[in-house]
Amino acid sequence: MSMLSLQLLLLPLASFLRTAASSTGSNGSCAPESCGDLTIRYPFSLAGVQPLYCGYPPLDLTCEAGTGPAYLSNTFREHLFRVDNISYADNSMVAAVQTAFAGDTGCPVPDFNVTASLALFPFNISATNKRLVFFYNCAVPAEFLLRRKCANHTMGAYISKRSWGAGEGGTPPQGVSTNCSSVSVPVRRGMEPAQLHYDYVRLIRDGFLLKLPPVLGDCDRCRQMSCGECRFDQFSFKCVCGPDGKLCPNSTQPSSPTPPGNSRSFSFLTCTDYSQNQ
């Protein structure tokens, strides 16, 4: 993805920007933080602990009670998407939608399409997910019937034969009217209809796989420096030395010749010298 298209994707969310300096509890550092088992670092940031410039604004997370779970901060309802796992190596994460049907706090079925609710975010629901479809406002055949109603709607559910990547639409299974209201939830596992009666709650809770946008900048290299911290500031990647926010010298273009095979220790020295001399 080009720099420009990433900026365009991030722009709609710029209105959520906290002023970095005023985030409570933060000391200006982008040192990795944890929330439960999650390690949170660039391109993610942890609200209230790290300044927003530590990551992309849409990837800002909120850690419930300081111990987890973590949630995407900038969703239209609070605590809507729980983030259960981040793979920095694969550039992916596992998230789960955590919500209730309108007018029925006990029903964990979303009353919106998960795709639509994530449309402003710069990540994609992985095509490898399965499509769990809930339908209502129509006659529900017994084999699809859920035991529980949601806000007095008789609910049906099935796993679509098409993978998530094949897109919405597609014909419903035999016996299901095309006139029903429906919502789709991405899930990681398939399931037989007979089991779905009981287990749709667990399927939703187990979450789905998301592909994150390509990471801007050479953060791995930056992190190898003694005080190098990756930031996303003014819509660009910055490698910064410590909380004072001084830019690290660009280690890929050293002003003096670097001994071959020794670039890592060169970076280390450069950053250390820089912080001592400021």
Ligand X SMILES: *[C@@H]1O[C@H](CO)[C@@H](O)[C@H](O)[C@H]1NC(C)=O
Q: Should residue 236 be labelled a site residue for ligand X when binding is judged by CB under 6 A?
A: no
Q: Least distance from C-beta 70 to ligand X, angstroms?
A: 11
| Total interface residues for ligand X by CB under 6 A | 36
Given 34, 151, 233, 246, the residue binding ligand X (CB under 6 A): 151
Contacts of 117 (CB under 8 A, 6+ apart): 75, 76, 80, 97, 110
| Range in contact with ligand X (rule: CB under 6 A) among 23-31, 69-77, 190-198, 258-266 | 23-31
Q: Should residue 211 be labelled a site residue for ligand X when binding is judged by CB under 6 A?
A: yes
Q: Should residue 156 be labelled a site residue for ligand X when binding is judged by CB under 6 A?
A: no
Q: Least distance from C-beta 266 to ligand X, angstroms?
A: 12
- The DSSP secondary structure of 209-220, one letter per residue, reads EEEPPPPPS-HH
Q: Should residue 160 be labelled a site residue for ligand X when binding is judged by CB under 6 A?
A: no
Q: Whose structure tokens read 């973590």?
A: 70
Alpha-carbon distance of 5 to 18, in angstroms, equals 22
The structure tokens listed for 37 are 């088992």
Among 150, 68, 164, residue whose Cα is nearest residue 108: 150
Residues 90-129 that bind ligand X (CB under 6 A): 103, 112-113, 123-124
Torsion of CA 274, 43, 46, 247, to 10 degrees: 20
Q: Least distance from C-beta 36 to ligand X, angstroms?
A: 9
Q: Should residue 168 be labelled a site residue for ligand X when binding is judged by CB under 6 A?
A: yes
- The DSSP secondary structure of 70-124, one letter per residue, reads EEESSSSSTT-EEEEEEETTTTEEEEEE---BTTBTT----SS-HHHHTTTSS-E
Residues 50-79 that bind ligand X (CB under 6 A): none
The residues of the shown chain that bind ligand X, judged by CB under 6 A, are 1, 25-27, 29, 31, 33, 37, 49, 84-85, 87, 103, 112-113, 123-124, 151-152, 168-169, 177, 179, 182-183, 211-213, 218, 221-222, 239, 250-253
